[in-house]
Structure 1
């Protein structure tokens, strides 16, 4: 980060966005003290305090709020101009920031590794979190989510196979509890429940013969991470609902036993998505081309918002 000019303005926007010097410094790749000095230097030069700081909190002053509202659109325009100019480079450079879920990151990791091997001059910043965010506001170049979760007005690039959920438990569990024959039988079972990033409980989704419905399963344990759900199922704590991608090795090895297979049809998998813009940065374009190379994806398409699905993608 530069200590004057655009660097100082980017520093102010990052602190304003996160309400934290520590988090903003991490995002910008600088030390907290360097970021604090950059903001203080700008405040001294313009003669106005932009932030009210205490030992526990950071908040914009009235002048700071007006300043941020004024410079944010201008900086966005400058970033776009820089991206457009950079798109004419033969070799991608700079930092590519991607936001996704932990499951999405695991599935996309082979592509990310290939990308970094091909473009060693690039820096790659991957942030994983369950909640959906506004990638534009948070300063990301693109996001990766389930196709049905891609926000409205984004350009979506599908990649990877169709996904499918599996209902399963350990053989030891099914020795104690008769396997369910229909989703309705789950009411008699101890299920490993899923908490969504929003905090709501996920209702397991089923479909057969054109009939789709969801079941609010019951159980003694509630988790929000697929790896923890998998561990709990292996330990015989109950029935779980996870993607085949997550649970496939256990099904093949026999450590978990699948049930209700004809009630869980496949659905569209992951998409990389980004804001529709005329000039796509060279680095993002290179990643898109690599995704198509890996998966044979035909192209991009506008996408519409859809309901939140399980965090186990």
Structure 2
């Protein structure tokens, strides 16, 4: 292949995109005359015209459109790859903005950020802790961490934690006074400690056993939007609590809380890092993603 052929094909792609020799020449920093000569040489070599040219417009011929359909994606892919290779040779620098719920921030995000920030001083991290689902594109975040079951289908989702379980717990004193539920439908007859999300809705209590899922409405009781207060209320005997298992590990070990309906608490998909597919990500962001990836033991 003639050494200048690739360059001339790239010139043709710019002319076809701009639909103007004047704009294309300005964009490439060359004269219109030089650009016209290069295109003419390319068409002569190929044996067919690539562009229709008039004094008012420039547009691809049928043959030119077919070439362009293959050429544009190829040039874009090459430019992306070259850019990433160049980026990989330098120290990762940049800001990564991420949103996560409190539990995910404490158990997943922060443990990964400590070594990442120490080893990569050029990476600045901005963390926003909020328990509601966030539209990261509209809110201008690079990524978010949420449970895999709550993610939008058009997002890239990377596992960043193990599978999890829900625990329904209560204090021994509460169970002595009110009895122990033996099936999910008993929940509505009990006092329940509920979580109200930012949308103003009470989070549902969903159970699963042998691939059979059931969602029940919790009974009346105190409502919070903070996990620590919910655990405190359960410990004080104010009702049943539906919560992520490891948030009550200490209370279960000490006997301050007792687990019920354990047969209805099967493991489910854990936390995922999610981000949009349409952005070209920096090396700093790719380093951040790699630091958070979960590797099964």
Q: TM-score, normalised by structure 2?
A: 0.67
- Tell me the SS of whatever aligns to 2:238: coil
Task: Tell me, in whole angstroms, the C-alpha distance in 2 between the residues paired with 1:86 and 1:239.
Answer: 56
8 Å CA contact 1:232–1:238 kept in 2: the answer is yes
2:277 aligned with 1:276, yes or no? yes
Q: Which residue is equivalent to 2:295?
A: 296
What does 1:18-167 align with in structure 2 at a 5 Å threshold?
A: 87-108=87-108, 109-167=110-168
TM-aligned CA deviation for residue 98 of structure 1: 0.4
Give the alignment's Cα RMSD to 1 decimal.
Answer: 2.3
Distance 1:278 1:262, change over 3 A: same
- The verdict on how the C-alpha distance between 1:84 and 1:239 changes in structure 2, with shifts beyond 3 A counting, is same
Structure 2 gaps of 5+ residues are 1-79
- What are structure 1's unaligned runs of at least 5 residues? 1-79, 298-313
1:214 CA drift (Å)? 0.7
Seen in structure 2, the aligned counterparts of structure 1 residues 101 and 117 have a Cα distance that, compared at 3 Å, is: same
Aligned-pair CA distance for 1:218: 1.2
Are 2:203 and 1:202 aligned? yes
SS state at 2:269 partner:
coil
> 1:262, CA displacement in angstroms?
0.4
What is the CA–CA distance in structure 2 between the aligned matches of 1:144 and 1:259, rounded to whole Å?
Answer: 29
Distance 1:86 1:173, change over 3 A: farther
Structure 2: distance between partners of 1:119 and 1:198: 37
Shift of 1:277: 3.9
Change (3 A) 1:157 1:103: same
Q: What is the TM-score when the length of structure 1 is the normalising length?
A: 0.64
Q: Greater relative contact order: 1 or 2 (C-alpha under 8 angstroms, separation 6 or more)?
A: 1
SS at match of 1:91: coil
Deviation of 1:120 (Å): 2.3
Larger Rg: 2
- Structure 1 segments, 4+ long, off by >4 Å, are 83-86
Q: Is the 1:84–1:279 Cα contact (8 Å) retained in structure 2?
A: no
Q: Cα gap change, 1:85/1:98 in structure 2, threshold over 3 Å: closer, same or farther?
A: farther
The alpha-carbon deviation at position 238 of structure 1 amounts to: 0.9
Distance 1:262 1:269 in 2: 19
Q: Residues of 1 paired with 2:229 and 2:261: CA distance? A: 22
